Amino acid sequence: MTEPEMVTLTESQRKARRSRSIAIGLGLALLVVIFYVATIIKFGPAILDRTF
Amino acid sequence: MALVEKSTLHDGGFRMSEATAGDFIALLKPRVMSLVVFTAFVGLMAAPVSINPFIAVVAILAIAIGAGASGALNMWYDADIDAVMTRTAKRPVPSGRVLPGEALGFGVILSILSVLTLGVLVNWVSAALLAFTIFFYAVVYTIWLKRWTPQNIVIGGAAGAFPPIVGWAAATGSITLESVILFLIIFLWTPPHFWALALFKSEDYSRAGVPMMPNVAGAASTRRQIFAYTLLTAPVGVLPWLLGYTSVAYGVVAIALGLGFIWYAWKVLLMPDSDRTMKPAKAMFGYSLLYLFGIFAAYLADSIVERLLAMPGV
């Protein structure tokens, strides 16, 4: 391991990183919603059945 | 501020990315993606099975992302030839906005994510077909065929023809003759569509060293082959009606669109070598897009009407 160094990003690099971060965040949130709703749809009313 | 290792920072080729989210969206080839979404949606709607609307949206989304991922892999591999072609020089990788490694990583991750989502939430038959489509476009077409043979877009056209089969499989979990006919329409349509473009962009392809048909076999041979493939495409477009899958209304639209397609191909066939403006080829390219959209829109309308008529009380 070599010694880490801090890099100061330029304005355009900072803006680009922010835009990528927002897009990734929205993408992940959409994925969570899709899997949540699809799970309920696929299980149907049985998802509320708590008897074992 | 960003934390990087000193050795990486001073390694010559390193630079911080300036790629925006928009650049990554451009990697997905949104215009190609829209055609994929449309044809996959028609395949899904034409299937004689009802699917939950939310699951249907998820299926189309996964197919769209899968198609986009294969586009990103294509742009990663083809950055060198994209850079020398006027039509593609401004793409994110050749223009330097997105680094090649970023495009590769983006394509691989989205490929895996789209296939897994389709498999887990819809069914594994459609997921396997989507995985094969991505593999076919990225590896068989882009890496193997494109720079090797003038038949590149004939065989590679299969990748663009798979979406309706994937859409159909998402609804039914199977492949049937009806979905294979939808595949055949796009498969046979691809050569006249791309060769019309290759005729008036032959200098671009020549500069990039891509063996497109006009650069290898010559313009006259390409014009004859465009006409031959159009003669095959038009009747296959009518097949769904002849086999009883659609109503006569679709048949009439398909015949009219097919005759128009043959007419444009005929004009291309008669185009002299001395024609530098190549208006017939440009018109053929434009009409080919209209033809495919028209055929699938008619098929979709026919499926919707059939479903409405089958509803109780109608």
The shortest CB-CB distance from A7 to any of B9, B19, B61 is to B9
Among B166, B175, B152, residue whose Cα is nearest residue B65 = B166
> HSE (CB half, 13 Å, CA atoms) of B90?
3
Q: Which of A38-47, B186-195, B246-255, B257-266 has the lowest mean pLDDT?
A: A38-47
The 3-state DSSP class for residue B286 equals helix
Say if residues B107 and B73 touch (Cβ distance below 8 Å): yes
A25 to chain B, closest Cα gap in Å: 11
Joined together, the tokens standing for residue B155 give 């065989």
Q: Tell me if chain A has a CB within 8 Å of the CB of B3.
A: yes
How far apart (Å, rounded) are the C-alpha atoms in residues B55 and B155?
Answer: 32
Beta bridge partners of B3: A6
Tokens of A44: 């149907």
Q: Do A2 and B58 touch (CB under 8 A)?
A: no
What's the whole-model pTM score? Answer: 0.90
Q: Do B121 and A15 touch (CB under 8 A)?
A: no
Question: What is the full DSSP assignment across B164-187?
Answer: HHHHHHHHHSS--HHHHHHHHHHH
Structure tokens at A52: 């074992």
- pLDDT at site B274: 84
Given an 8 Å threshold on Cβ–Cβ distance, is B58 in contact with A22?
no
Contact B191, B225 (CB under 8 A): yes
How many residues are listed for chain A in this entry?
A: 52
How high is the ipTM of this complex?
0.81
- Go through B18-34 and write b for each residue having 16 or more CB atoms within 10 A of its CB, e for each that does not: bbbbebbebbbbeebbe
Residue B275: predicted pLDDT: 86
For residues B117 and B163, give the distance between their C-alpha atoms in angstroms, rounded to a whole number.
16
Backbone angles phi, psi at B175, to 5 degrees: -115, 130
Condensed to tens digits (0 to 9), the pLDDT of residues B19-78 reads 999 999 999 999 989 999 999 999 999 998 889 999 999 999 999 999 999 999 999 999
Name the B residues in 61-90 with CB < 8 Å from any A CB: 61
Chain mean position to CA B218? 25
pLDDT computed for residue A52 by the predictor: 58
The alpha carbon of B183 is separated from its chain's Cα centroid by a whole number of angstroms, namely 11
Q: How many angstroms away from the CA of B13 is the closest CA of chain A?
A: 16
Q: What integer pLDDT is reported at residue A43 of this predicted model? A: 81
Question: Testing the interface with A: which of B20, B60, B110, B124 to mutate, by most A Cβ within 10 A?
Answer: B20
In tens, the pLDDT along B126-135 reads 999 999 999 9
**B116/A contact by beta carbon, under 8 A:** no
Cβ within 8 Å, pair A4-B5: yes
Closest-CA distance, A43 to chain B, in angstroms, reads 11
Q: Is pLDDT larger for residue B86 or for residue B266?
A: B266
Least Cα distance to B305 among B251, B238, B250 occurs for B250
Which run of H or E residues covers position B30? helix B30-46
**Angle, CA of B23, B24 and B25, to the nearest 5°:** 90
**Residue B117 contacts A, CB cutoff 8 Å:** yes
CB contact under 8 A, A1 and B5: yes
Residues comprising chain B, all counted: 314
From chain B, the residues in CB contact with A2 under 8 A are 5-7
Cα separation, B223 vs B231, whole angstroms: 12
Mean pLDDT, all residues of chain B: 93
Say if CB B185 and CB B78 are below 8 A apart. no
DSSP B314: -
How does residue B220 score in pLDDT terms, banded at 50, 70 and 90?
very high
Give per-residue pLDDT as tens, B136-194: 999 999 999 999 999 999 999 999 999 999 999 999 999 999 999 999 999 999 999 99
Is B167:B157 a contact under the CB 8 Å cutoff? no
